[in-house]
């Protein structure tokens, strides 16, 4: 029996996700973004300008995590941050023309990354959407106060 056959489903899933993320990042090096950057640019392209907090929710990460991604993308000129005119503490984040170009190149990589690997199967995609649909709302709830 293979060691993998003894692993729990959650361990298999997290390991597979990490390996896919590494494969993505290797291919995205030439563009100068990471998989997290690609995801962030995609959300901004589809949904438009938004705050960092809304962007973190849309990408399903913590605010601190999106902050690091935003900093990297801004340094490369792929996004810009503009102070909100109503709430001066808040910043609005938007994709730049350079970011749109980087996103298009990354989308080309996405189309070829997993071809032939069985990762485009309807069943797998359906199962993954179900997991995300079930667990994502739980992560977006405010943490309960510890007494």
- Kindly report the pTM of this predicted structure: 0.73
Per the domain annotation, does 91 fall within a domain? yes
* Placement of tokens 């079930």 in the chain: 134
Kindly report the CATH number assigned to the domain that includes residue 41.
1.10.10.10
**Which pLDDT does position 145 carry in this prediction?**
42
**Which pLDDT does position 139 carry in this prediction?**
62
Per the domain annotation, does 87 fall within a domain? yes
To the nearest 10 degrees (0 to 180), the angle between helices 9-28 and 97-113 is 130
**Which pLDDT does position 147 carry in this prediction?**
39
Q: What is the mean pLDDT of each run of 10 residues along the chain (147 residues)?
A: 82 86 87 92 96 91 88 96 78 95 92 67 80 75 46
**Which pLDDT does position 74 carry in this prediction?**
96
Per the domain annotation, does 144 fall within a domain? no
* Residue 22, helix vs strand vs coil: helix
Task: Tell me the backbone φ, ψ of residue 95, rounded to 5 degrees.
Answer: -80, 140
Residues of the domain holding 69: 9-139
Q: How many domains does the chain have?
A: 1
Per the domain annotation, does 2 fall within a domain? no
Task: Tell me the backbone φ, ψ of residue 93, rounded to 5 degrees.
Answer: -110, 135
* 124, two tokens: 């797998």
**Which pLDDT does position 144 carry in this prediction?**
46
């Amino acid at each position: 029996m293979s060691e993998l056959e003894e692993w729990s489903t959650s361990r298999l899933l997290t390991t597979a996700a990490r390996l896919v993320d590494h494969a993505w990042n290797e291919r995205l090096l030439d563009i100068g973004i990471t998989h997290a950057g690609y995801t962030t640019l995609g959300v901004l392209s589809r949904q438009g300008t938004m705050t960092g907090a809304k962007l973190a929710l849309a990408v399903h990460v913590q605010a601190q995590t999106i902050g690091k991604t935003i900093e990297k993308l801004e340094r490369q000129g792929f996004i810009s941050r503009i102070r909100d005119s109503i709430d001066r503490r808040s910043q609005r984040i938007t994709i730049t023309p350079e970011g749109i170009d980087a996103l298009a190149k990354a989308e080309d990589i996405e189309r070829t990354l997993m071809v032939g690997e069985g990762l485009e199967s309807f069943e797998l995609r359906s199962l993954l959407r179900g997991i995300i649909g079930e667990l994502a709302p739980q992560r977006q709830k405010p943490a309960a106060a510890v007494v």
